[in-house]
Structure 1
Amino acid sequence: MNEEQLKKMKSNPGFVAALDQSGGSTPHALELYGVAADAWSNEEEMFDLVHQMRTRVITSPGFTGERILGAILFEGTMNREIEGQPTADYLWGVKNVVPFLKVDKGLKPEEDGVQMMKPMPQLAELLQRANAKNIFGTKMRSVIKQASESGITAIVDQQFEVGEQIIAAGLVPIIEPEVDIHCPEKAKAEDLLKAAISAKLAALDEGKLVMLKLTLPEKADLYADFVKHPAVVRVVALSGGYSQEEADVKLRANHGVVASFSRALLEGLSAKQTDEEFNAMLDASIQKIYDASIT
């Protein structure tokens, strides 16, 4: 583990940029960016286009470690280059931004009010490659749809079980049990989630580190205990479908929690913008999310 990167993730002001849309969510991400589905004829061309979009974001003058702590990448982005360097090396060496990798393979259908992660049979090999590519940590997402205690316990068990494998590989896992913002009993689900995570953190061996990526809660400062927990490098929040403005307001009410926004970060960016327009829009978004993250 890179100690300099760990120090930055623990203590510097800023937020995490989530640039990890994969196969299923890429067409929608490109559509929001103004690239229609008829612009590509196969998956490879689609991923070339999304890499161009991500390259434009990452190389933008405002995208630097001064306000951005880390960036979460999709596997295809990790394997590609930016300005002649592997993406993770460019992020850290040029931009001073800590690289993370999304490792999950998507979600199972809903059962018992939750969507568990699909099996990850190639995880060990992927973690080896992540280490070789100088990745600091990983991210994996599951989703809570209902305030089901047994479902939420199962999700947290799965997240921490895989998390242990990631820690053993020398990486820091971002544990992401997302509570759907449309969950009918969202506050209750969040209380159940907090209890389940608290139990897992208490059982972690000393010296083992995780990050938590959680939906912005109904109750302000619900996760304050996690912010202070010695095993938690950082608590980051997902925008979860809230607009950038809504997400920023909610984020300000959760002290010590920083953003890890995807859609809200890229809101308003378009392939049709000039570089000047694109860079100005991205810079303004970065500043708003940064300001909300330093409360």
Structure 2
Amino acid sequence: MLYAVEKRGIISNGKVIMSKTQQREQMSNGAGFIAALDQSGGSTPKALALYGVDASEYGSDAEMFGEIQKMRARIILADGFTNDKVIGAILFERTLGEEINGRKVADFLWNVKGIVPFLKIDKGLEDEADGVQVMKPIPGLADTLAKAEGVFGTKERSVIHEANAKGIANVVAQQFDVAREVVAAGLVPIVEPEVNINSTTKAEAEAILKSEILQNLDQLDDGQDVMLKLTIPSQANLYDDLADHPRVLRVVALSGGYSTEQACDLLAQNSKMIASFSRALTEGLSKKQSDAEFNTALGSNIDKISRASA
């Protein structure tokens, strides 16, 4: 394992300062995948239930978030959660204020584990219209970005349910509007227009989506670089042109509800995508497992996802 305090940081007045250049290189060319640990208020109850924590075990939002933070910390501290396989991690905004071993989570990820931190900034989805769900407004985004200490970039999610050209164009336009604001704040946005894996027009939607993304990428100026987080396409290597675009640092894949095995098998068919999995990463983990059992189960998932991303 590489330790950022010794090999990745710059020390100023006794404090380790992140090297954006080193983080950018890791995200552009590093071997491995991004762990999505950004369960929010809406997704946390389901994630906890899968982890073996019943809703009766917490009586408030604070207690619920406390339980999910324990799960996140256990994952991050696990033996197999190392930067030779996990190159980045996406966090929920509330997580930035939490600590692991006395250090803020983002600081711990980079300066101890050598893993690049990202921040989920979207506030959920609007109701479906024109076959898509655009993001809800993000109030106070400029302030959030200014205070996002320790993170390299952001992640923001929309969902596409059908091959509706108008709806997909709206999703992509909104994503790139937010991306420009993120770039202006000195961060790298992960643009995430997810295509529902159960859509009856998934392949058609992905073809429209690719075209819209390319048009918006071509409108970016030099230095306005983004990452893309996309559903694994029905046509293998469909997104190679996106990965090769000069404004794209990396194209990463979401698991979208596939099992770990399915997601890895499909991802392995796409040579220019790496994983950014959430549910597939935590599949089979339980609060009731011993540390040895937990580390074995998580390590197995990490190995599978890392191989599929190679």
Normalised TM-score (structure 1): 0.98
Q: How many Å separate the matches in 2 of 1:79 and 1:109?
A: 30
> Could you report, residue by residue, the CA deviation over 1:183-206 in whole angstroms, capped at 9, with x for unpaired residues?
111000000000000000111101
The answer to whether 1:254 aligns with 2:273 is: no
Q: How many Å separate the matches in 2 of 1:161 and 1:101?
A: 17
Could you tell me which of 134, 158, 180 is aligned with 1:164? 180
Q: What does residue range 203-214 of structure 1 map to in structure 2 within 5 Å?
A: 203-214=219-230
Aligned position for 1:119:
137
How far has the Cα of 1:58 moved from its partner?
A: 0.4
Aligned position for 2:158:
142
**SS state of the match for residue 16, structure 1?**
strand
Runs of 4+ in 1 over 4 A off after TM superposition: none
Aligned position for 2:77:
59
One-letter amino acid of the structure 2 residue matched with residue 214 of structure 1:
L
One-letter amino acid of the structure 2 residue matched with residue 98 of structure 1:
V
> Could you report, residue by residue, the CA deviation over 1:62-99 in whole angstroms, capped at 9, with x for unpaired residues?
10111011000001111111110010000001111000
Aligned position for 1:86:
104
One-letter amino acid of the structure 1 residue matched with residue 69 of structure 2:
H
Q: How many Å separate the matches in 1 of 2:95 and 2:139?
A: 21
Aligned position for 2:34:
16
One-letter amino acid of the structure 1 residue matched with residue 68 of structure 2:
V
The answer to whether 1:181 aligns with 2:192 is: no
Q: How many Å separate the matches in 2 of 1:284 and 1:218?
A: 26
Structure 1 unmatched runs, 5+: none
> Could you report, residue by residue, the CA deviation over 1:176-225 in whole angstroms, capped at 9, with x for unpaired residues?
00000011110000000000000001111012110000000000000001
Aligned residues with identical type, % of pairs: 55
The answer to whether 1:43 aligns with 2:67 is: no
CA RMSD of aligned residues (A): 0.7
Could you tell me which of 180, 187, 190 is aligned with 2:206? 190
Q: How many Å separate the matches in 2 of 1:208 and 1:113?
A: 29
Deviates more, 1:192-201 or 1:76-85: 76-85
Aligned position for 2:256:
240
The answer to whether 1:265 aligns with 2:281 is: yes
**SS state of the match for residue 174, structure 1?**
strand
Could you tell me which of 189, 192, 199 is aligned with 2:215? 199
Aligned position for 1:228:
244
Q: How many Å separate the matches in 1 of 2:110 and 2:246?
A: 25
Q: How many Å separate the matches in 2 of 1:227 and 1:107?
A: 26
Structure 2 unmatched runs, 5+: 1-18
Normalised TM-score (structure 2): 0.93
> Could you report, residue by residue, the CA deviation over 1:148-181 in whole angstroms, capped at 9, with x for unpaired residues?
0000000000000010000000000000000000
Aligned position for 1:70:
88
How far has the Cα of 1:256 moved from its partner?
A: 1.6
How far has the Cα of 1:262 moved from its partner?
A: 0.2
One-letter amino acid of the structure 1 residue matched with residue 110 of structure 2:
W
One-letter amino acid of the structure 1 residue matched with residue 156 of structure 2:
M
State the number of aligned residues: 292
Aligned position for 1:219:
235
How far has the Cα of 1:281 moved from its partner?
A: 0.8
The answer to whether 1:284 aligns with 2:300 is: yes
> Could you report, residue by residue, the CA deviation over 1:251-274 in whole angstroms, capped at 9, with x for unpaired residues?
011102000000000000000000
